[in-house]
Structure 1
């Protein structure tokens, strides 16, 4: 079978999304990578569909748009990353079982998730510092304003390390921040479920 047939029979969009670093919530939703999606609006299963921008397709379409590749190159990337055998001449072949991601691929996916979550948090901190600043000197400080002052510089330092640090520094940072990233994801997910712009506070102070 050709590469398109082999990939479409073997890989769902959800598997592809998880492999490339997206965290799928219990409802099967992710934040759409194809528009500025503040809340998860893309459903990923065998296919994908975004209820925000209307993006729709299968795993090949997802990877094609995600990495800006032609369809055939996207299918070949999926085949390579998932260890899927196919006949380059279009003749029938035995499809191999999907292989487990390598240690390098797992780290790259976790690093991407860590950077995305911390980057989102950093932008929230900057917004909170502006939106919740006291209007008068005697005003009581809003908890989110206090959090922004306490955390902004540290999160910026983490992001700089992820952008410019050595591989060893980045590996250490990702491992150290693993629990923090999970807490932040739950925190903002809980806030979205409650329809409240003010996130639930967690123990994030250092």
Structure 2
């Protein structure tokens, strides 16, 4: 490991780490926002569950490089536009989270939902005040998996020229320069850990009742 390379290229590494964060993080939020209503539909409307879960599962089987190349054709953008990666990664995030949200909502105890209904909670209010908070720990677990997956898959976008930490992997391989490869690997791992920690912290803040139950 050539530490002088790291020190000499520190600002560039940080810039690409930020680019990688945007490309992996924005789709994570967008995918969750879209997956919540779709997962709710899958959990509440039985005949919609098979097509929603099956369709979302099929999305994840699309090779990432093929999807990155297809996006410019669909969106009318240039091949290296970051929006292509954001849209593609949102699709992958959605594919992972729809089933997670549906399973999480189905796992909410009937006693809790019946009690909320008896107290006069309308379906929308019950979803926001009861169902979603109780389902949050399970959804967060799925979100952690999606975050790690996003950080990994975004690296593939470097093959089409989109700047991110994956550039160090492709450049290092081409040049047979292991320091660059290690920079790319370690940076991606650290970024995945940061995402994971943030999700865990936010989950604890949103579910203070869990800590109270444990205590």
Q: Same fold (TM over 0.5)?
A: no
Structure ranking higher in strand proportion: 1
Higher relative contact order (CA 8 A, sep 6+): 2
Structure ranking higher in helix proportion: 2
Q: TM-score, normalised by structure 1?
A: 0.30
